[in-house]
Structure 1
């Protein structure tokens, strides 16, 4: 009878070390349920949940502020002016660097979380959104026409800036929700990011700020990609990579369609 050797001693895996920052420091951690949104012909908007946890070993309460900023894009504005009894468009003003999408969500109103100067320094909130024109006035060609870029608008700057925000709010591209962050359990929170149908494609950046006594104590940075897929993506890339070829092809297709329609109606 063969005697089997004794089994080897059990090896106990060492317990994972707890992060020092988790134990000793106040910090916030966050993630997205979906970091990629695909846009096709049937896209009707998207709702993404941002969730996270607050590690707060102290007795001081903390507030969470979520800021999501979409890709920057130029914004061209004109204003109706009355000249000799006739309403005319003013010189166009082109703002560069305005985000195509911007939202904030917080546990309570931003004015109750931090002071005006602190919010302005961080660029948190629609009232503190950085929308700047170029430093020097110059004439460039955009949208097929010559636009006058105005950098020193004087007292009218605030009116133009409010117009940008108002138009983007009407399109559901800018939004601020003072109750958008909800604590579902002790230290666990969630917020919803609503992307409208007209949300621009590109890379989005999300900042999750943790405030204590009016001061930012921690921040978590996330990225979100909104991209076209399928035939829409192929057409979009072709139009931007070969604009001349795309334009000629559109003219040819339009001419062929018109010729075909005329032949059909002529036969009838």
Structure 2
């Protein structure tokens, strides 16, 4: 018999794979990455689920952040002048998230320190809102990009007003117990989108923290879009605004004329 040569031993796996498996990591997904808005839309519940791989003995925390498309925000303040209430000079923030929600396994302050949360812009207190015009950024207390606005000491008060108004509208929320482990390493988070949630592309981040520091992140996207007649009207208004305005005027004039004819007959 002719001896059959032995097969060479299989090469060891790449070192990158071994290192990856030795480090904590998080993987996540959405049950529905596309939310459809129609005339009967009353809100939606976004379910985010995932798994944590933690080969160490150090416990880990999961933080979910969902941020909607940025949009400018215009604010005015009521001032009493000579017994009359007048609007102050308007303040226009160049951009703030149209929707912002966080969910975590426990309060954010217990997961990471102030500086870490500020650098990652996690939480309503650390939310990045583009400042009004005539602003500059500096480094203070070891934190970069601290905004110094023409509003001076009132800047933080105006910023808090943005967050307070958005929270009242249900567009900003924070749930310190919104992430629940349903099994060993498996977690789930439910985030509610109100009926007033704006359309556009949303960004979702799932952070894994250990000892107060981020060790892994999973990035997801979600789309909120109009469907049916609402989408057609919206597209018509945004793509041909002049024609949409003309049609609206003609429609209003026709409705007024029809109403007057009906009342005359009576």
Q: Distance in 2 between matches of 1:154 and 1:130?
A: 17
**What RMSD over aligned residues (CA atoms) do the two structures have, in Å?**
1.6
Equivalent-residue separation in structure 2 for 1:115 and 1:135 (angstroms): 30
Who is 1:168 aligned against?
166
CA distance in structure 1 between the aligned counterparts of 2:208 and 2:65, rounded to whole angstroms: 11
Query: In the alignment, which of 227, 233, 236 is matched to residue 235 of structure 1?
Result: 233
1:57 maps onto 2:65 in alignment: no
Count, aligned residues: 240
Q: Give the Cα–Cα distance (whole angstroms) in 2 for the partners of residues 166 and 33 of structure 1.
A: 30
Note the C-alpha offset of 1:152: 1.6
**Which aligned runs of 4 or more in structure 1 are off by greater than 3 angstroms?**
17-22
Q: State TM-score, norm by structure 1.
A: 0.87
The 2-side partners of 1:232 and 1:51 are apart by: 31
The residue number in structure 1 matching 2:21 is 23
Aligned to 1:47: 45
* Shift in Å, 1:136: 2.7
Question: Residues 129-168 of structure 1 correspond to what in structure 2 (within 5 A)?
Answer: 129-136=127-134, 151-168=149-166
Matches within 5 A, 1:1-268: 20=18, 23-136=21-134, 151-268=149-266
Counterparts in 2 of 1:21 and 1:267: CA distance versus 1, 3 Å: farther
**Ranges in structure 1 where 5+ consecutive residues have no aligned partner:** 1-16, 138-149
Q: Return the alpha-carbon distance in structure 2 between the equivalents of residues 120 and 93 of structure 1.
A: 24
Deviation of 1:83 after TM superposition, in Å, equals 1.0
Structure 2 CA distance, aligned partners of 1:198 and 1:46?
11
Q: Deviations over 1:95-150 (max 9, x none)?
A: 1220000000000000000000000000000000011224537xxxxxxxxxxxx9
Instruction: Tell me if the contact between 1:22 and 1:55 (Cα under 8 Å) persists in the aligned partners.
Output: no
Distance 1:21 1:37 in 2: 38
Kindly provide the CA deviation profile for residues 126-185 of structure 1, in whole angstroms up to 9, marking residues without a partner as x. Answer: 000011224537xxxxxxxxxxxx942101111111110111111110000100000011
SS of equivalent to 2:51:
strand
- Match of 2:36, SS state, is strand
SS of residue paired to 1:179: coil
Task: Tell me the distance in 2 between the aligned counterparts of 1:21 and 1:182.
Answer: 28
- What SS class does the counterpart of residue 199 from structure 1 fall into? coil
Contact 1:101 1:199 in 2 (8 A): yes
Secondary structure of the corresponding residue to residue 239 of structure 1: helix
Inter-partner Cα distance in structure 2 for 1:238 and 1:136: 36
The two structures have a TM-score, normalised by structure 2, of 0.87
- Shift of the alpha carbon at 1:234? 0.5
